[in-house]
Amino acid sequence: MDYLTLGSWIVAFIVMIGVILAFFRIFEKSKPRVEHLVLIAILVAISILGSLPTAAIPGVQAASFIIIMTGIVFGRETGFITGVLTPLVLGLFLGLGYWTILQMIGWGLMGLTAGIFRVKLGENSYIRAGFGFAWGFFYGWITNISMLLFLSSVTLTSVLGVYIASAPFDLLHGVTNAVLLILFFGLFERIFKRIRDRYINSPDGEAKSLNKQ
């Protein structure tokens, strides 16, 4: 236990912030359309509305459902940006902290992977439920890093200890995800697809004029 461990944690956090800022820069450089911006804003607001009433219970997070749906319907970039911005805006409501960075990474990757496997996830409801269930655990494991910081040594036993302590919450999160993805996938897919086909992917010449500037 020395400066090496503490220093590498600090460096790791700085790298995480740097990666997030780099993705933001890429997003800025891509000159997104106004429709796209408003769409992401409303999706972030919806997922926060889903998680604000249950913010006190660590396991139940309806935000994950909306983020996975976003990834599946709108693709990986929108899924990633929505996932990254949700904890940031949630933090402005409930208070920011160093854990916000880990939540951003966790939810961002959730949206990104949902976008990558969108074809398979859209077809098969079993794969979808399994995906949501697995991400309940992955998200828990990523946010658990905020606990590992304060343990004296990062060994297999310490990692296992923290992860066993958080397992019930992760299980709850995963089960919530899976149930929501089975029951309400069709309903929300219909709503999201309508918007996507009508406004985002529409061959509207006028809409693209902003891109050229």
Partner 1 sequence: MKLTIIHPAVYVIYYLLLVILAFLYNDPYYMISFLICVSALIMLQGISREFKNVIQFFIPMSLLIIILNPLVAQVGTTRIYVLGSYFITLEALVYGILMSLSLLIILLLFASYNRAVSYQEMLYLFSKRFPHISMIIVMALRFIPLLSYRLTEVNKISRFNQENQGNQKIESRVDKIKKTAQMLAVVVSWSLEESMLTAKSMKARGYGIMKRTSYLSYKLRKIDYLFILVISATTLICTMGLANGFGRIEIYPTLHFSVHESMFNPYYFSFLILLLPLIYLEFKERLIWH
Beta strands per DSSP E along 76-207? none
Q: Tell whether residue 153 is a contact of partner 1 (CB under 8 A).
A: yes
Query: In 3D, which of 30, 8, 33 has the Cα closest to residue 205?
Result: 33
Distance CA 177, CA 50 (A): 12
Q: How many residues bind partner 1 (CB under 8 A)?
A: 60
Cβ(198)–Cβ(83) under 8 Å? no
**112 alpha carbon, distance to own chain's centre:** 8
Distance CA 43, CA 46 (A): 5
Query: In 3D, which of 179, 142, 181, 191 has the Cα closest to residue 162?
Result: 142
**Token pair for residue 75?**
């693709």
**Footprint of partner 1 on 161-190 (CB under 8 A):** 161-162, 165, 183-184, 187-188
Site stretch for partner 1 (CB under 8 A), options 72-80, 81-89, 107-115, 120-128: 81-89
Site stretch for partner 1 (CB under 8 A), options 38-46, 72-80, 113-121, 125-133: 38-46
**39 alpha carbon, distance to own chain's centre:** 16
Site stretch for partner 1 (CB under 8 A), options 33-41, 111-119, 132-140, 167-175: 33-41
| CB 119, min distance to partner 1, A | 23
Contact residues toward partner 1 (CB under 8 A) are 1, 3, 6, 9-10, 24-25, 27-28, 32, 34-35, 37-42, 44-46, 48-50, 52, 81, 85, 88-89, 92-93, 95-98, 147, 149-153, 155, 157-158, 161-162, 165, 183-184, 187-188, 191-192, 194-195, 198-199, 207, 210, 213
